[in-house]
Structure 1
């Protein structure tokens, strides 16, 4: 079929979907491109929502992936504020909430993830927040900068990346912060106790109070607004607002309803070309569980910005019939107070047998490496820059490295990659 008469549909108005649409045009696709988003906002990036946009250092226009005129200029049809509700695979059509049916020759699912809910009494009160959308960040900033409840703390349920970034932003705005976390350290399920302790000290230094080993049991209110919380171990704490930062789950309902195969670990199962069990349907971003190289590594689903940035274009090229192998090393960045960090790889507790540090932990200028049998599984650099490429090459190499040389700042990382 002449490409001019083909229609590619993208469901998801985030970074992955917007970058996929951009790539289709950059690769010369002449046909119809339709992008569907359930928000009324044009596609935007999410990292600023818990960082500079939340504190007011970044203006609203800076979070959008493209200027408003870009979509019309590149003939991208936007259907915003109207969610896709069903996929008819036999007819190759997407049905929207208002009954509109859109045909497709290829379909990309970039539906993202949805924050987990607390599921405890009191979540209906005003000033109980989640942080996933632009409007969420607007509302939370209004609470943190407003006078109502001033002096009472923001209580954050969960000490993951979002919880810690919001804690740092809130302290920057002068709000008191209490974090309630069931693990023994922040980020315990991602980084383990060795590096999690570094984040605990960082936030305590800036005035954050932690309660580890417990969860929120109830949110209490006054006149319909949050006034306090009770933890599972019986603590009663005042609160001006509560943020649920207990993780997110992939938005797979649309795929599941269409009979598309899901991954056992969550997400839509895709091969290395980001193709689902239906050869006309692809998935990218937070929702995609990608088969790992060699067929022995299972599937990996990554919710970070870089994955959306890179997998959207990769999926677009795959839709065009290009040969695609999506096997990038997972990458994540964060800014908390004066600590900037980058994390490459994947090494949750149970996968590694040793952590090696290079640099000065006390000054928070170091690199941490997670090893298994001498092989580098992941690396985190905090306030040490221009080292991501050699760290990722060490992860990719998959061969044992001398731990003493790894810990020695005088040994160039590049030499360890090359084996010299």
Structure 2
């Protein structure tokens, strides 16, 4: 009988670490190998866009687990190895790294994450032009920000706005250029988008919407500005390009797995071959939110990474546990803390509580009379009330929620039964 080569997890990230931990918690005693291409042990990524302004990044302080934990769990952590080839056989398969190492496996988990979306801009190769995805990116950006005067952020998503807020707080002149007609348009409704535009501008950041960029201009190999289609020149010592990410599916494609905006998995985290699992940012899955609008989704958040990894680990061990979760997200932009509960896609009504100009409000989303999500800005009590209600299948009537003097927690009730 062939020796059990154990589980190979490709992706030493939050998803990969949780997958390995869950296997052990479920009683798996076979070998586990966790392989990542970065030189660092797995670390937290969310702080990277928020802790850039001391000139350095302390990756060790962001580590998810200690070296003793990996040893104690009998998990082989391999860093600095990028897997470039996968092949399957009856016993499992083998993975080969760019450095020529081979890793045999009986079970395979893909936690390959996502890569930054790159813009084909003239001047993108200039010094001072950055993307932000990993700790090395963050270290280079932090070093350049320390000496910068003018900072331009291309892309008005959450990462871009977090970096913009930090740069502004550090005394930089900051401009945000967004190609769309509003900020974070794919994640929130117009009311929340308009709040972020106004809030960042009140704090001194110039926000330009419908911005069409023609090129990045430089002097002596160093970026000096951004040129817009209308002829405007925006000065820049540092440019951060933050226009989203694309799921990393190349290894899944080598195995012939179904791929469409990520690696397609079923509700258990299983890929189209029925034996490989994929989890986290790289996975395209049936909407796990019971109040969602159906279809398939790909989510990028720490809570999803952790919970989806648990489902995938169970599937590797033959346990079919449907993935169900209440999605929630957050973004810290200086003194602005946004917390989102649920998914607002398909909403047909909104209720505003509070005053956006006072930087404290909540926008509640409804579909067919039932609450489905909320954007909460500096409103932790509202966020917790909505999150708890959604998790329990409860409702918060729209008419009552409009009364800002009422506590949402006290308005929560069981939904009407037809």
TM-score (norm 2): 0.91
Distance 1:326 1:57, change over 3 A: farther
Q: Deviations over 1:71-114 (max 9, x none)?
A: 22322112211111122123522222233322222111110111
Q: Secondary structure at the match of 1:188?
A: coil
In the alignment, is residue 49 of structure 1 matched against residue 48 of structure 2?
yes
Name the residue aligned to 1:106: 107
Would you say how many aligned residue pairs link Structure 1 and Structure 2? 411
Q: Distance in 1 between the 2:55 and 2:403 partners?
A: 40
Q: Distance in 1 between the 2:43 and 2:52 partners?
A: 12
In the alignment, is residue 182 of structure 1 matched against residue 179 of structure 2?
yes
In the alignment, is residue 76 of structure 1 matched against residue 75 of structure 2?
yes
Q: Distance in 2 between the 1:56 and 1:70 partners?
A: 30
In the alignment, is residue 304 of structure 1 matched against residue 301 of structure 2?
yes
Name the residue aligned to 1:246: 243
Distance 1:341 1:125, change over 3 A: same
| 70-79 or 51-60, which deviates more | 51-60
Conserved? CA contact 1:48–1:54, under 8 Å: no
Conserved? CA contact 2:353–2:361, under 8 Å: yes
Give how far 1:419 is off: 4.4
Q: For 1:369-384, what aligned pairs fall within 5 Å after superposition?
A: 369-384=364-379
| 85-94 or 114-123, which deviates more | 85-94
Q: Distance in 2 between the 1:327 and 1:54 partners?
A: 38
Residue 278 of structure 1: which of 261, 273, 278 is its match?
273
| 71-80 or 211-220, which deviates more | 71-80
Name the residue aligned to 1:154: 151
Residue 341 of structure 2: which of 327, 340, 344 is its match?
344
Give how far 1:34 is off: 0.4
Name the residue aligned to 1:261: 258
Q: Secondary structure at the match of 2:96?
A: strand
Name the residue aligned to 2:414: 418
Q: Secondary structure at the match of 1:92?
A: strand
In the alignment, is residue 325 of structure 1 matched against residue 331 of structure 2?
no
Conserved? CA contact 1:105–1:280, under 8 Å: no
Q: Secondary structure at the match of 1:198?
A: helix
Structure 1, unpaired ranges of 5+: none
Give how far 1:279 is off: 2.2
Q: Distance in 2 between the 1:309 and 1:56 partners?
A: 30
**Aligned alpha-carbon RMSD (Å):** 2.4
Q: Distance in 2 between the 1:219 and 1:93 partners?
A: 43
Conserved? CA contact 1:157–1:163, under 8 Å: yes
Give how far 1:290 is off: 1.3
Q: Distance in 2 between the 1:60 and 1:173 partners?
A: 21
Residue 214 of structure 2: which of 212, 217, 222 is its match?
217
Structure 2, unpaired ranges of 5+: none
Give how far 1:393 is off: 5.0
Q: For 1:7-26, what aligned pairs fall within 5 Å after superposition?
A: 7-26=6-25
Distance 1:209 1:276, change over 3 A: same
Name the residue aligned to 2:234: 237
Conserved? CA contact 1:54–1:138, under 8 Å: no
Q: Distance in 2 between the 1:414 and 1:84 partners?
A: 52
| 320-329 or 387-396, which deviates more | 387-396
Give how far 1:234 is off: 2.2
Conserved? CA contact 1:55–1:170, under 8 Å: no
Give how far 1:394 is off: 4.6
